[in-house]
Amino acid sequence: MKRVKLLTREEECERIVEGHGPSDFERISEALDRQFRTIHNRAQLILGICGVLISASVVVTAGRLIGHRPEYRHRHTASILLVAAGILEIAAAAVVVGGVLNIRWSTRQPGDDLRQWVLSNLSHRDRKTLAYRVSTLLLLLSMISYQIAIAIAMLQL
């Protein structure tokens, strides 16, 4: 399988400026806005999943506290995993809110000319993309921790 070489940020900038025309700020701005909209929509999905998992963690914890289920083997391990899952969920939500859903208007991005402005926006987009990926990883680790904790508890039934 042949590995695809991704464009550098500078090459991507050149492609955008040449493809839309070096004087068509509006079309370039719209193209960049679509990219930001995509990452924001996906970030909102991650945030929604975080909310569901946080709610599930609260229900499981409250049920455990209220139900006073008898002791079982590996209870401490399952409890640590549930706490870790909760921390990871909150961290994922914090990263997605602070790193992706924060608002910075593209028209306020620095740049002395069109190319520099596009590069500035691409850099900003790439930072948001990295934050999105980190939040996704944290969310997946949370799901794994949660599932292992539940599996430990279920195996004791």
Residue 142 lies in a domain: yes
Q: Could you tell me which residue, 55 or 136, shows the higher pLDDT?
A: 136
Average pLDDT of the residues in 90-105: 93
Q: Could you tell me which residue, 95 or 61, shows the higher pLDDT?
A: 95
Residue 15 lies in a domain: no
CA 101 to chain centre: 10
Residue 26 lies in a domain: no
Residue 11 lies in a domain: no
Q: Which pLDDT does position 70 carry in this prediction?
A: 61
Q: In the chain, helix, strand, coil percent, each to 5?
A: 80, 0, 20
What is the tally of structural domains in the chain?
1
Cα 152 from Cα 87, distance rounded (Å):
19
